[in-house]
């Protein structure tokens, strides 16, 4: 009996030692840092965390990578390397006098190339979702998967009526709002050119019309759409675990 107990102690010690080695390996590979990226005419701040397949997170208009800290940590702990970018002129970046989604799409393409990423998955919230879709339209076969929350592909008719009336009544809008008033100008036909899997989401109390979310998802060949219950434009995204869970389910379905 004593000999059996000693044998169990040895097995336990070996198992603990193995776990320590595995944890040390994971810590060596696990990244967590912030840096900047030279996109040519602008410098972009980003944060990186995790180890595994790449996922890029893009915030909404006037936001920053901090808006999705919870999602970043969720995905990193699930086995992905997460890059959370501050879009040009926003977050930790120097503000600009003029903004265009096409420039942000080019920034994303150049970031992917500079980091040597092979068809990363991208989740974009609101403006970030526009940028994700536009990137794949402008630079086909760049992304491995797209997920969006509260994105639109054109302006007039995409917003719920009560918000649209208020939105277009702005006087002296700031440069970021000027962009939103006039862009994007993509079409349903543009969505048909996107070949990667796509999950198009909006909340059931969103600023984006449900039919617009369905329009985008239905026209992407490998697309699907989802109306998130009990959610407004950003409640399931800002510092929430809900969108992270939805993304992990999506990645599992498509084998990413």
Cα-based torsion angle of the residue sequence 123, 53, 194, 203 in order, rounded to the nearest 10 degrees: -20
Mean pLDDT value of segment 193-204: 98
* pLDDT tens string 17-70: 333 333 333 455 788 999 999 999 999 999 999 999 999 999 999 999 999 999
Residue 143 lies in a domain: yes
The three-state secondary structure class of 104 is helix
183/88 Cα distance (integer angstroms)? 16
Q: What is the pLDDT of residue 31?
A: 86
Range of the domain at 141: 30-254
Residue 223 lies in a domain: yes
Contact 59, 128 (CB under 8 A): yes
| Confidence check: pLDDT of 10 > 50 | no
Residue 8 lies in a domain: no
- How many structural domains comprise the chain? 1
Q: Which of 16-25, 86-95, 138-147, 154-163 has the lowest mean pLDDT?
A: 16-25
The three-state secondary structure class of 81 is strand
| pTM value > 0.85 | yes
Residue 136 lies in a domain: yes
Token pair listed for 254: 């498509």
Residue 22 lies in a domain: no
Contact 92, 126 (CB under 8 A): no
CATH of the domain at 37: 3.40.50.1820
Contacts of 181 (CB under 8 A, 6+ apart): 155, 167, 168, 170, 173
Residue 171 lies in a domain: yes
Token pair listed for 184: 């994007």
Residue 5 lies in a domain: no
Looking at every residue in the chain, the average pLDDT score rounds to 91
Residue 20 lies in a domain: no
């Amino acid at each position: 009996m004593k000999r059996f107990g000693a044998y169990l102690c040895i097995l336990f010690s070996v198992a603990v030692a193995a776990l320590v080695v595995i944890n040390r390996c994971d810590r060596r590979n696990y990244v967590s840092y912030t840096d900047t990226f030279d996109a040519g005419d602008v410098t972009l701040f980003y944060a990186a965390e995790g180890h595994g397949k790449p996922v890029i997170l893009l915030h909404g208009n006037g936001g920053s990578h901090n808006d999705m800290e919870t999602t970043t940590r969720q995905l990193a702990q699930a086995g992905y390397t997460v890059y959370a970018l501050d879009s040009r002129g926003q977050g930790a970046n120097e503000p600009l006098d003029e903004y265009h989604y096409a420039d942000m799409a080019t920034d994303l393409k150049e970031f992917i190339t500079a980091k040597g990423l092979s068809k990363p998955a991208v989740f974009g919230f609101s403006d970030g979702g526009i940028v994700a879709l536009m990137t794949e339209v402008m630079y086909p076969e760049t992304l491995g998967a797209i997920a969006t929350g509260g994105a639109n592909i054109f302006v007039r008719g995409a917003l719920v009526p009560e918000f649209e009336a208020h939105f277009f009544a702005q006087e002296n809008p700031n440069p970021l709002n000027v962009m939103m008033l006039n862009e994007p100008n993509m079409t349903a036909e543009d969505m048909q050119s996107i070949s990667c899997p796509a999950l198009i989401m909006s909340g059931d109390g969103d600023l984006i019309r449900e039919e617009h979310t369905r329009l985008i998802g239905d026209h992407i060949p490998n697309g699907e759409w989802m109306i998130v219950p009990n959610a407004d434009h950003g409640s399931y995204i800002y510092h929430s675990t809900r969108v992270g869970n939805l993304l992990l389910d999506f990645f599992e379905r498509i084998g990413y």
